Amino acid sequence: MSALAGIGEFLVLFGTVFYFLSTLGLIRMPDVYNRMQTATKSATLGSLGVIIGTGIWAIGEGLSIAWLTKTLIIAVFLLLTNPISAHALIRGAYKSGIPLWEGSVVDKYKEHLEKKSQEGGEE
């Protein structure tokens, strides 16, 4: 096994650990907002680890450099779309009236909406 293959396998293992943490966050967090935040961050890191690890492993095993190129393109796409989709889902949950956990200290979006309504603007 080459050093690159070892690094790739380590990154895949790293990603798997973050997938586990994401699952744990989905179970343990008290409301949809905390669950989505935990799942998005952990699953993004987990996916990046697995995707980039696969590309590096492929190079280490003597496969084409195209493997790494494709996995890097997928990783960039994932980095761009995961946070945006999570934000859209959380915003939809908020606008549909799903309450925050009673232990939540700050509701910045509510403050923002109140400020906009006082200024006469609508969102």
Reading the chain (123 residues) residue by residue, the pLDDT tens digits are 789 889 999 999 999 999 998 999 889 998 888 899 888 999 899 999 999 999 999 888 878 888 889 999 999 999 999 999 999 999 999 889 888 888 877 888 888 888 888 887 555
pLDDT value, residue 122: 56
pLDDT value, residue 86: 92
Instruction: Give 96's contacts (C-beta < 8 A, 6+ positions apart).
Output: none
pLDDT value, residue 10: 95
Cβ–Cβ under 8 Å, residues 93 and 37: no
Cβ–Cβ under 8 Å, residues 43 and 82: yes
pLDDT value, residue 46: 93
**Residue 123 to residues 44, 66, 95: CA-CA distances in angstroms?**
29, 45, 11
Gap between the Cα atoms of 81 and 72, Å rounded: 14
pLDDT value, residue 65: 87
pLDDT value, residue 116: 84
pLDDT value, residue 16: 95
